[in-house]
Homo-oligomer: A and B are copies of this chain.
Amino acid sequence: MPVDKSSYKDKKVMSIGIISELTGLSERKIRYYEERKLIFPERTGKGTRKYSFSDVERLMEIADQIEDGVQTFEIKKELTKRQIRDERNKMIRGQINAQFNMRN
């Protein structure tokens, strides 16, 4: 039961130009949301940003919230909450697996 899950969707392979096309957001906005820690592109050796399809989806969510008047600070808070929750779930899952494996 491999937990690969790193399918194409999460691979950081697109440069900011296509991301701008795909999301309809300006490059300025995209870079700004990164500055506010709402999105986390990778970097190539020489520093150009690389995004995944997941990032595209994430950007659409962010854009929707911004449009609704939500401030980046609020969006960030929500994101942090979600990350903490995910982190906790991962730990619990790990413990369950440990329990399970002990029985074998």
Interface residues of A (CB under 8 A from B): 8-9, 11, 13-15, 17-18, 22, 44, 50, 53
Of the candidates B8, B9, B15, B22, the one whose C-beta lies within 8 Å of that of A15 is B15
**What is the count of identical protomers in the complex?**
2
Report A17 CB to chain B, min CB distance, Å: 8
- A18 to B50 alpha-carbon distance, docked (Å): 9
Cα A14 to Cα B50 in complex, Å, equals: 10
Nearest residue, chain B, Cβ from A9? B8
Complex-state Cα separation, A46 to B9, whole angstroms: 26
Closest 7 CB pairs of A and B: A8-B53, A8-B8, A13-B18, A13-B14, A8-B9, A15-B15, A14-B14
User: CA A45 – CA B53 in complex, angstroms?
Assistant: 21
